[in-house]
Structure 1
Amino acid sequence: MSALETRLNYEFADRRHLKRALTHRSAGPDNNERLEFLGDGVLNFVIAAELFERLPDAPEGDLSRLRATLVNEPTLAEIADEIGVAELLTLGPSETGDGSRRRDSVRADTVEAVIGAVYIDSGFDATRDLISRLYTDRLEQLPSADDTKDAKTRLQEWLQARGRQRPHYELVRTEGAEHCRTFVAYCRLVDSDVGAEGQGSSRRKAEQVAAMTVLERVRRASSE
């Protein structure tokens, strides 16, 4: 815990808050779920306020997409790796050996719980300072608003701008066991023979991959 405090540049007045933040629900009733809920709310507000100040001319839609990019599961999982919380997480016996520690969702939830623990331990100002430290590089290197749109949205906007019909999506098949299923989706343009498959851990993710492939193909074709 001392090493984690050093990486966070924050020392807990009551380490019981940090211990709870590092306890998965599978390990017992005194777990990090409530702290995760609190940390999620504080994180969303602090990032929203940062974006509001940094981008005074950005419309609400752009701000919402940028915030979603900064507080989503993959980004929080990256932060978890940067501060090394996964290795300190206490899991129940059923979760210890099945790879749960490395799941993006578990690592992301733990970061939110740590943020919630700091809020309980020291209040809003200390929590805002912590979030600012965790997000320094990401806030300095914000993506463009268009880059934050998902692939399905970008493909649809590209087609609509050219008076073309919306693409069609269908689930082709699912593969693998129930607990680690892979979905395969197909994206097809209804006014041409362009189409592509995509794979993902959910139908939505598979459709996004397929849409990105189709978008790359039509953009490349239009520039030739």
Structure 2
Amino acid sequence: MFTLEEKLGYAFKNKALLENALQHSSYANEHRGGGMRSNERLEFLGDAVLGVVTADYLFRKHPDLPEGDLTRLRAALVCEDSLHEVAQSLELGRHLKLGRGEEQGGGRRRPSILADATESVFAAVYLDGGMEAASELIHRVLLDKGREEAVEERRRDFKTELQELVQRKSGSTLGYRLVGSTGPDHAKVFEAAVLLNGEVFSTGTGHSKKEAEQAAAGAALEKLQQA
């Protein structure tokens, strides 16, 4: 079993910084007498460090992109979904310190908590090893993993693309159906189906009905393009 430091590829000189990065406010509130501090201050700093590193990366990689496009790309790269994916790859959830209520409510898997903890870990590395160490980590777990391409893929409107493709096939009809949902209210996963001429053609999942329909439309496009 890999330790978190092995997953991060970084060994802390001051282990207390990493411990603080993993302490959710619910845990700190339950241990006020012990002088526990939540990771919220680290999250604030980590957000800034992540923004600088990502801006520098995009500025150098895309010398001809205007400011507006760079801003949109940066926002998409550092959004909750991207940071949640990083947290999952690092198995950050199992290392978090949560209060009893948050633990029982599924906080260890909650995307917002995991995304915030990811920023806190970035800040902890920055404070322990400087900007170079933080930048290396952010590049390794986020920027150098093809996530920019994944972001661009998510920005595509698969439903519109599918509609245009189906319209070119005379006599074909297109529709969507919600198949069902799973999970607790704070972390529901929806499943939607694409109906082509009244028959289920593909399915997809997402954290909202809209995301599920987009995923189903993307799967349908892939099938049609391979046919």
TM-score tier after normalising by the smaller chain length = 0.5 to 0.7
Comparing 91-100 and 74-83, the one that deviates more: 74-83
Counterpart CA distance in 1 for 2:150 and 2:66 is 12
CA shift for structure 1 position 185: 3.2
Q: Look up the equivalent residue of 2:55 and give its one-letter code.
A: A
1:8 matches 2:10: yes
Alignment of 1:72-151 (within 5 A): 72-73=79-80, 75-80=82-87, 85-97=92-104, 99-119=106-126, 121=127, 126-136=130-140, 139-140=143-144, 142=146, 145=149, 148-150=152-154
- The Cα offsets for residues 83-102 of structure 1, whole Å up to 9 and x where unpaired, read as 56444321111233555324
1:52 matches 2:59: yes
Counterpart CA distance in 2 for 1:113 and 1:25 is 12
- The Cα offsets for residues 202-223 of structure 1, whole Å up to 9 and x where unpaired, read as 22321221111221233234xx
DSSP 3-state at the match of 1:185: strand
Comparing 97-106 and 25-34, the one that deviates more: 97-106
Question: RMSD of the TM alignment (CA)?
Answer: 4.3
Gaps in structure 2 of 5+ consecutive residues: 30-36
Alignment: residue pair count: 212
CA shift for structure 1 position 135: 1.8
1:213 matches 2:219: yes
- The Cα offsets for residues 162-185 of structure 1, whole Å up to 9 and x where unpaired, read as 986xx9775636434653544233
- The Cα offsets for residues 106-127 of structure 1, whole Å up to 9 and x where unpaired, read as 33321201223445x36xx913
1:175 matches 2:155: no
CA contact (8 A) 2:87 2:93 kept: yes
- The Cα offsets for residues 138-192 of structure 1, whole Å up to 9 and x where unpaired, read as 545546758723275245357659986xx97756364346535442334467xx7
> 1:170/1:38 Cα in 2 relative to 1: closer, same or farther (>3 Å)?
farther
Counterpart CA distance in 1 for 2:165 and 2:175 is 20
Counterpart CA distance in 2 for 1:177 and 1:145 is 29
Counterpart CA distance in 2 for 1:24 and 1:88 is 11
CA shift for structure 1 position 23: 0.7
> 1:59/1:214 Cα in 2 relative to 1: closer, same or farther (>3 Å)?
farther
The TM-score with structure 2 as length reference comes to 0.66
Partner of residue 50 from structure 2, selected from 39, 43, 46:
43
The TM-score with structure 1 as length reference comes to 0.66
CA shift for structure 1 position 43: 0.6
CA contact (8 A) 2:53 2:138 kept: no
Comparing 200-209 and 139-148, the one that deviates more: 139-148
Counterpart CA distance in 2 for 1:45 and 1:198 is 35
